[in-house]
Amino acid sequence: MTRRGRGAVLAVVLACARVAAADDHAAEQAFRTAEQHAVAGDRQALDELEAVGRARPITRWNDQAWIEAAQFAERAGDYARAERDLAEAIAITTDDRLARRARGELARLAGFAGENGQWSAVAAEHEKLEQQLAASGDPKPVLAELEALVAANPGYPRAWAVMVVIAEGWERDGDSARALDWLRRAKAAASGADRVHASAELARTAMRAGELAEARAVIETIGDPIAARELRAAFARAELRRDVRWVVLALLAVFVVLAAVSLRRQAGAWPAAARRLARPPVEVWYLLPIAVVFVIVGTTGNPLVARSVRMIAIGGVAIAWISGALLDAVRARRGFVGWRRAAVHALFAAVAALGVAYLAIDRDRVIDLVIETWHEGPELR
């Protein structure tokens, strides 16, 4: 080739390179603009990203645009469109890592939206209701909608996951029996790794509800050794808590008997002791308004915590009532309360109050929330 010919070829190559660089720069500008619109939540961003993906000639921004478009479509609940965008990215990309990522996302979407997106609307409704349930004070209305969603769509691939969410809602509302029933249904509907997850949730909920026999039986059916080992450790803790509950209940029963016998001895007869108990002592009039305020405030938050607060308030008032009546009887008989008796009396009352508090927070495993808050601090909103 002559020198003039080589120069002509070089000129053509440089011209093509300049055109390719210009195309790549224009594609990048369009992609960045669409990306900014997507971050801002602009609905037109999805169309803009797909336009970048369809643009020709193909640049290194086309496959990225399809991936971003799929993510935007998924956030918007349009799973069928997200699947189509991922398929477009796979079709044109030359990046093996991006292709593997897109195939993984496509398989994940197909797992709950269907191969052709036929469950897209159901999946979107599922996600929306789950978010509403997490933010709701009274879960019953949203739970009714979730139950209707399951009933109307028995073939939905993630029906088991909806059932788990329903169970969590009913447990949060204090209906452990209903929660366990939904988890049994979830376990039956799930398969593979999903079945392990549903079984683990059933075992944990059974432990929290005190159904240790069922929890043990479910744990034995779990084939995943890591999950089974963790659940067995949790089961051992549940057995320990059950034993502690019985010890606390026994102590409270002994305290009640001792208080009744002591009150009868100080009053002189059972009818006189009953009359002492019929009149609320000053301790009750002091504590009752505080307890009522705490119960009212508690009802505005987590239902599980509200029940624990109510139990602690009722137990505290009962302890104050019995304690005050007994001290009034001692004072009426002797004219004063000695410091030794007062110290022993205060110790017994404090232990009883701690026992009631433990039973209250151990119920429905509110104690787990307390421990988590202690370690991680309160959640700030």
Q: What is the pLDDT of residues 90-107, one digit of tens each?
A: 999 989 999 999 898 888
Q: Are 143 and 166 in contact (CB under 8 A)?
A: yes
Reply yes or no on whether the pLDDT at 326 is more than 50: yes
One domain for residues 260 and 304: yes
Residue 237 lies in a domain: no
One domain for residues 105 and 193: no
Rounded CA-CA distance 57/62 in Å is 9
One domain for residues 276 and 219: no
One domain for residues 80 and 178: no
Rounded CA-CA distance 297/310 in Å is 10
Burial tier of 381 (Cβ tally within 10 Å: 0-12, 13-18, 19+): exposed
Radius of gyration, CA atoms only, the chain: 33
Q: Is the dihedral of CA 359, 365, 369, 372 positive or negative?
A: positive
Residue 232 lies in a domain: no
239-275 pLDDT tens trace: 998 999 999 999 999 999 988 888 888 888 888 888 8
One domain for residues 24 and 47: yes
User: 62, 79, 113 — which closes off a domain?
Assistant: 113
Burial tier of 302 (Cβ tally within 10 Å: 0-12, 13-18, 19+): middle
User: 207, 223, 239 — which closes off a domain?
Assistant: 223
Reply yes or no on whether the pLDDT at 15 is more than 60: no
One domain for residues 262 and 365: yes
One domain for residues 90 and 148: no
Residue 37 lies in a domain: yes
Using 50, 70 and 90 to split pLDDT, how confident is the model at 26?
Answer: confident
Residue 241 lies in a domain: no
Could you tell me the residue range of the domain that residue 185 belongs to?
A: 121-223
Task: Please state the domain count of the chain.
Answer: 3
Rounded CA-CA distance 292/285 in Å is 11
Residue 228 lies in a domain: no
One domain for residues 7 and 104: yes
For the chain, percent of residues with pLDDT exceeding 70:
87
Query: If you search the block for the tokens 């004063």, which residue do you land on?
Result: 336
One domain for residues 109 and 131: no
One domain for residues 104 and 128: no
